[in-house]
């Protein structure tokens, strides 16, 4: 059985670029129904940058196996201009970005653990609410979000590939 640790890591840290490239390749293949070109992948990453996934307004969490290999990751960043859950006494909303589990880490609950860790990080940033977006073809992700209490909500951004927006009060 593979086990892991989840820790904050710089988004430009060792092994991260390769894993993000893998994420972009897989998501584009599933969403577009074909293999994307390198130019298309670079544009997709540039159009949806990793900005904000670093302190003081964000965090990038990386799951590694005990040998140090990247199994998955999730980013969290505060988002200005979105309403938060006032009943929680906090005023910020955070967005989960780049939640991805590599094939070697799948089927063991790592996606759920990364999402839970992202929620804890969001709360640590002062967020009372978390939002995220996804695409219809990413059925596993949508099922996981709903199983963990996320509810579909109105669009909060105009990300071109997004078709479903979710929110959860922390």
Which CATH number belongs to the domain containing residue 27 in this structure?
3.40.630.30
Number of compact structural domains in the chain: 1
pLDDT at 158: 76
Listing DSSP states for 31-100 in one string gives HHSSPPPHHHHHHHHHHS--TT-STTTEEEEEEE-TT--EEEEEEEEEETT----GGGT--EEEEEEEEE
Q: Identify the band that residue 87 occupies on the pLDDT scale cut at 50, 70 and 90.
A: very low
Given a cut of 50, whether residue 16 has pLDDT beyond it is: yes
Contacts of 117 (CB under 8 A, 6+ apart): 6, 61, 74
pLDDT at 90: 54
Give, rounded to a whole angstrom, the gap between the first and last alpha carbons of the chain.
31
Q: Identify the band that residue 113 occupies on the pLDDT scale cut at 50, 70 and 90.
A: very high
Given a cut of 80, whether residue 81 has pLDDT beyond it is: no
Q: Identify the band that residue 1 occupies on the pLDDT scale cut at 50, 70 and 90.
A: low
Name the residue range of residue 142's domain. Answer: 5-169
φ/ψ region of 109 (left if φ > 0, alpha if ψ in -120 to 50, else beta) reads left
Q: Mean pLDDT throughout 89-104?
A: 86
d(CA 122, CA 142): 20
d(CA 154, CA 166): 8
Please provide the average confidence, as pLDDT, over all residues in the chain: 87
Most confident of 2-6, 54-58, 136-140: 54-58
- The pLDDT tens digits of the residues spanning 117-132 come to 999 999 999 898 999 9
Residue 54, class by beta-carbon neighbours within 10 Å (0-12 exposed, 13-18 middle, 19+ buried)?
middle
pLDDT at 148: 96
Given a cut of 80, whether residue 168 has pLDDT beyond it is: yes
Nearest to 98 by CA among 36, 41, 1, 21: 21
Q: Among the listed ranges 13-22, 56-65, 141-150, which one has the minimum average pLDDT value?
A: 13-22
- The pLDDT tens digits of the residues spanning 143-154 come to 999 999 999 998
**DSSP strand pairing (5-8 vs 151-153):** unpaired
């Amino acid at each position: 059985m593979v086990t892991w640790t989840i820790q904050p890591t710089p988004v430009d840290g060792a092994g991260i670029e390769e894993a993000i490239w893998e994420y972009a390749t897989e998501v584009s293949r599933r969403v577009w129904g074909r293999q994307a070109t390198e130019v298309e992948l670079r544009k997709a990453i540039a159009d949806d940058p990793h900005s904000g996934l670093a302190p003081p307004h964000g965090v990038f969490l990386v799951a590694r196996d005990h040998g140090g290999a990247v199994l998955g990751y999730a980013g969290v960043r505060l988002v200005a201009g979105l309403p938060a859950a006032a009943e929680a006494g906090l005023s910020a909303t955070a967005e989960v970005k780049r939640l991805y589990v590599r094939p070697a880490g799948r089927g063991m609950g790592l996606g759920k653990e990364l999402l839970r860790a992202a929620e804890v990080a969001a709360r640590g940033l002062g967020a009372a609410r978390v939002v995220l977006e996804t695409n219809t073809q990413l059925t596993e992700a949508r099922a996981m979000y709903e199983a963990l209490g996320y509810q579909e909500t109105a669009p909060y951004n105009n990300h071109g590939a997004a078709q479903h927006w979710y929110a959860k009060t922390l």
